[in-house]
Structure 1
Amino acid sequence: MKKFDVSILSVAVLLTGLAVLGVYQANEADRDPVLVKAGDTSITQYQLYDEMKSMYGKQMIHELVAQSLISQEAKVQNVTVTKEEIDKEIASMKEQAGSEEAFQNYLQSMGMTEQKLREKLTVLMTRDKLLDKAFPVTDEQIKKYYEENKQHMGSPAPELEKVREQIKTFLTDQNRSENYNDWLNQIQQTHKVEWYDPSLDDPAQPVAG
């Protein structure tokens, strides 16, 4: 099965776990229920939360910040993803999986439902639309790429118009990848992200996406 763009999706279960445990910790500060007993050792809910936070907390909070920034910037720029676009992407994923059963097994292995996948895809596709708007592929880029790489496209090389769309798709992905971190840092400044827990902020690391 094709490996999808799931940089945000892959941590869905941990995100949920951290959120639930965090709420529980805030509301039940005087309790620390035992989750597992291993011999004479008890493993409590707070121990699990603290371990998850220390291992994944920084990544999780950066993921959540990225999602929030993307959503806010989309509203500013009036960028939306339609239900039809999501349906088309889901249909493509099901086709790549080979069957509905294989697709559902994939979701189960990710700890996700189809509804949650739709929500995450909305974020990813919104992000891509914003990046494409900020860094569109130009005709000059396409021509330059063609001239620099046509010797690798066969002999004789195909005419530019026959490979234009393939080149544009490649350059679109390249533009997104190369510009994402700088772009996200810019909108982070625009929307004034404030960190109230310094242990979760990492100035050397761009907000993840």
Structure 2
Amino acid sequence: MKKFDVSILSVAILLTGLVVLGVYQAGEKDNDPALVKAGDTSITQYQLYDEMKSMYGKQMIQELVAQALVKQEAKRQNITVAPEELDKEIDSIKQQIGSEQAFQDYLKNMGMNEQKLREKLSVLLTRDKLLDKAFPVTEEQIKQYYEENKASMGSPAPEFDKVKEQIKAALVDRNRGENYNNWINSIQANHKVEWLDPSFEDKAANVPAAPAQG
């Protein structure tokens, strides 16, 4: 079963907050409604936005940039994710979480519904397809891995054909993790990203996060 990659989903609430609160610019502080009163102190909407931007803004903007780049590159290469592929991922997540109710509770805690989850997963699957096309696992790599590691696979070692697909899956994950940063940077250069606010710029657009190993 494919390991559920939550890296891009774990920031969903923060993303939503930044998008909603982003309408509050510095010049609009006079129209800044209070969200909470703590004794004689009011916590305002702009204060929340300002704090979130300070702590998470750079990560969030890079998240959005990387998502946009993945979608644009997929369109350029005519790579798509079928609804059936998303259904399979959703079913896998439900199995890992344990029950339909636990799945719904998870969505609620993440501040999203199933449609939003499908949108996020579509980006992840698209990213993986692009990486696998750019850095395919070869038969030679699989055989080399088998020869180098078969001594640790048991005694006697399993036949190559019996572990070939398992090895391939491991190498696919390794290829994605090792090549993601350079790949997304090259995509960023090709699509000419222009950072209008230099404080958000980063040489490595590392989100969506590189796939988890295993």
| Cα RMSD after superposing both structures | 1.7
Corresponding residue for residue 172 of structure 2: 172
Does 2:178 correspond to 1:208? no
How far residue 126 of structure 1 moved from its aligned partner, in angstroms, is 0.2
Deviation string, structure 1 residues 50-86 (Cα, Å, up to 9, x no partner)? 0000000000000000000000000000000010100
Does 2:166 correspond to 1:158? no
How far residue 22 of structure 1 moved from its aligned partner, in angstroms, is 0.6
Corresponding residue for residue 68 of structure 1: 68
Matched residue type, 2:195: W
Deviation string, structure 1 residues 7-36 (Cα, Å, up to 9, x no partner)? 111101110100000124489564111111
Corresponding residue for residue 32 of structure 1: 32
Percent identity between matched residues is: 75
Corresponding residue for residue 51 of structure 1: 51
Matched residue type, 1:116: K
Equivalent pair of 1:71/1:123 in contact (CA under 8 Å): yes
Whole-angstrom CA distance in 1 between matches of 2:136 and 2:115: 30
Corresponding residue for residue 121 of structure 1: 121
Equivalent pair of 2:24/2:46 in contact (CA under 8 Å): no
In structure 1, the residue corresponding to 2:6 is in which secondary structure? coil
In structure 2, the residue corresponding to 1:155 is in which secondary structure? coil
Structure 2 stretches of 5 or more lacking a match? 209-214
Corresponding residue for residue 16 of structure 2: 16
Corresponding residue for residue 101 of structure 1: 101
Equivalent pair of 1:65/1:207 in contact (CA under 8 Å): no
Whole-angstrom CA distance in 2 between matches of 1:200 and 1:25: 16
In structure 1, the residue corresponding to 2:22 is in which secondary structure? helix
TM-score normalised by length of structure 1: 0.94
In structure 2, the residue corresponding to 1:36 is in which secondary structure? strand
Matched residue type, 2:102: A
Whole-angstrom CA distance in 1 between matches of 2:27 and 2:69: 28
In structure 2, the residue corresponding to 1:84 is in which secondary structure? helix
